[in-house]
A and B are shown apart, each in its own frame.
Chain A
């Protein structure tokens, strides 16, 4: 699944480690999310979206599911 996490992280000058610490996952999980290898759980998606002050749909691209 595509996400806007890399862009959002760069805008806020955050490292993967810092974002991981803030949402309670490891740096490796953030990397996997960013490259689309791993799909976040609903709870993690909510935590990430809330951290950036956005909705889940604004952070994660669900267009693949709708096709």
Chain B
């Protein structure tokens, strides 16, 4: 449990630094907005949403870890929730099924885009190739580890 406590402390530090860095990047963008290309309102809103969303997720994890580190019982509960074997299995199955569906959807979308628009076709093809390379890289990594 001491190792996990140390892990949670490190996580709190990393998350705090990350929250500050994300806030600083956003503030930097706001300060130098006039020097950036003029964007439409939807793109601006999307960028703001990404930053605020990321900040909220980081803060959420931060609060969760701070709560967990307050007492021995909370720490143990957090450790169990994170290392529960059934939860890990659910995550693994969800990730592999999502990956499979994404491969199929991207493949179909790439074929359809080939008949409609060259830019979209090459973007989707790039995404599909990236996913295939990443998949095999991960496969080789985990095959060597296990």
A interface list, Cβ under 8 A from B: 20-21, 24-26, 28-29, 32, 38, 40-41, 43-44
Contacts and interface: CB of A to CB of B under 8 A. Distances in A.
Contacts of A24: 79-80, 83-84
B76 A26 contact: no
Contact of A38 (B76, B77, B86): B86
B61 interface: no
A28 B80 contact: no
A41 B86 CA distance: 9
B80 A44 contact: no
B71 to A, nearest CB: 14
B135 interface: no
Interface of B: 76-77, 79-81, 83-87, 89
Given A24-B79, A25-B80, A29-B84, 7 more contacts: A21-B76, A21-B80, A25-B84, A25-B85, A29-B87, A38-B86, A44-B85
A21 B89 CA distance: 19
B2 to A, nearest CB: 16
Contacts of B80: 20-21, 24-26
Contacts of B76: 21
A43 B85 CA distance: 10
B81 to A, nearest CB: 6
A40 B89 CA distance: 11
A42 B58 CA distance: 35
A28 B83 contact: no
Contacts of A26: 80-81, 84, 86-87
Nearest to B83: A24
With a 10 A CB-CB cut-off, give which of B77, B79, B85, B87 has the most chain A CB atoms.
Answer: B85
Nearest 7 Cβ contacts at the A-B interface: A29-B86, A26-B84, A25-B84, A38-B86, A41-B85, A24-B80, A29-B84
Contacts of A44: 85
